[in-house]
């Protein structure tokens, strides 16, 4: 393993007030509050029910063959992280948690991600992973809180693919772009949430790779 793959993951403080805006995925028609990095084509968004508790619908979009990730609580250390990347015609997803600015090992818990097929695809330029995240909003300080009107999340990506991209527990090479952004949680709430969440396939907590 090259040294560069072991260098610390350091989520830089936001240099400007980066925030979310409304984004509707063209295929699933789900509307998210989403942050987009115009340089890389990265997007992370979320949709919430009118009374959020523990679940949300998320979308992670990337370009090319590298990984994209989000921290549900801002800077990466001791926060619940989500990553996804393409592997041929599949997308691989993974929960991570790190105790230092280094490759975050896989995290296990009651949380689960279930893909929403309509919003999970790979086209000639991007990959898009839409998922129902169940038991993902935690009260232990590792994520945003369900009752807040706004939160600070983190984003990160690497233009290089994970070393063992077929494995959901693959080491993640250091991010090549990253930052924090503010998310308007109250604006992410929708009356359509239940209908959107129902598009997720039956939960399969062990499934971490699926045909896009
Ligand atoms: C691929 O999907 C992304 C994300 O939905 C979209 O922005 C882009 O325009 C699509 N590209 C093509 C060539 O359809
Ligand atoms: C919001 O939720 C957090 C975590 O469960 C809790 O500690 C806090 O007291 C709640 N705040 C309000 C205003 O309800």
What pLDDT is recorded for position 36?
97
Ligand 2 centre to CA of 120 (Å) is: 33
DSSP 40: T
Check residue 46 and give its pLDDT: 98
Residue 4 forms part of a structural domain:
no
**Would the CB of 124 count as within 6 Å of ligand 1?**
yes
* Ligand 1 contacts CB of residue 126 (under 6 A): yes
Domain assignment present for 2: no
Q: Is the sign of the CA dihedral 169, 171, 177, 180 positive or negative?
A: positive
- Pairwise CA distance, residues 126 & 209, whole Å: 17
Going by alpha carbons, the residue nearest to atom 4 of ligand 2 is 139
The distance in angstroms from the start CA to the end CA of the chain is 29
Tokens of 41: 């084509």
Beta bridge partners of 114: 132
**Nearest ligand for residue 119 CA:** 1
Please return the burial class of 140, using the count of CB atoms within 10 Å of its CB with bins 0-12, 13-18 and 19+.
exposed
Structure tokens at 33: 């509050």
Q: Are strands 112-115 and 90-96 parallel, antiparallel or unpaired?
A: unpaired
Q: Residue with the nearest Cα to atom 5 of ligand 2?
A: 139
Residue 89 lies in a domain: yes
With respect to residue 113, please indicate whether it lies within any of the assigned structural domains. Answer: yes
The pLDDT of 187-207, averaged and rounded, is 84
Q: pLDDT digit string (tens) for 86-119?
A: 999 999 999 999 999 989 999 999 999 999 999 9
Distance 208 CA to ligand 2 centre (A): 31
Residue 137 lies in a domain: yes
CA distances from 17 to 123, 124, 132, 179, 180 (A): 31, 31, 28, 11, 9
> What pLDDT, in 10s, does the model give residues 48-91?
999 999 999 999 999 999 999 999 999 999 999 999 999 999 99
The set of protein residues with a Cβ atom below 6 angstroms from ligand 2 is 139, 145, 147
In a domain, 208, yes or no: no
Q: Distance from CA of residue 145 to its chain's centroid?
A: 16
Q: Which ligand is nearest to the CA of 60?
A: 1
What per-residue confidence (pLDDT) applies to 98? 94
| CATH code at position 58 | 2.60.40.1210
187 falls within a domain: yes
Please tell me the distance from the alpha carbon of residue 34 to that of residue 141, in angstroms, as a whole number: 22
What residues pair up with 90 in beta bridges, in sequence order? 87, 211
**What is the Å distance from ligand 1's center to 102 Cα?**
32
Range of the domain at 31: 13-163+176-202
Q: Does residue 209 contact residue 166 with C-beta atoms inside 8 Å? A: yes
Which protein residue has the closest C-alpha to ligand 1 atom 7?
A: 126
* Ligand 2 atom, smallest distance to 148 CA: 1
Q: How many domains does the chain have?
A: 1
């Amino acid at each position: 393993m090259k040294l560069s793959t072991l260098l610390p993951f350091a989520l830089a403080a936001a240099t400007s007030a980066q925030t979310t805006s409304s984004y509707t995925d063209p295929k699933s028609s789900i509307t998210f509050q989403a942050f987009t990095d115009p340089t890389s084509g990265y997007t992370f968004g979320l949709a919430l029910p009118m009374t959020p508790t523990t679940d949300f619908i998320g979308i992670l979009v990337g370009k090319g063959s590298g990984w994209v990730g989000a921290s549900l609580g801002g800077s990466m250390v001791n926060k619940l992280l989500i990553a996804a990347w393409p592997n041929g015609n599949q997308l691989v997803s993974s929960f991570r948690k790190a105790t230092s600015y280094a490759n975050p090992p896989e995290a296990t818990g009651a949380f689960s991600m279930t893909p929403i097929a309509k919003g999970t695809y790979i086209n000639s330029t991007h990959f898009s992973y839409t998922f129902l995240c169940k038991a993902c909003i935690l009260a232990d300080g590792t994520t945003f809180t369900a009752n807040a009107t706004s939160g600070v999340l983190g984003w990160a990506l690497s233009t290089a693919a994970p070393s063992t991209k077929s494995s959901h527990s693959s080491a993640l090479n250091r991010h090549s772009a990253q930052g924090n952004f503010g998310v308007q949680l109250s604006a992410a709430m929708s009356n359509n949430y239940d209908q959107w969440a129902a598009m997720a396939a039956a939960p399969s907590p062990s499934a971490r790779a699926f045909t896009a």
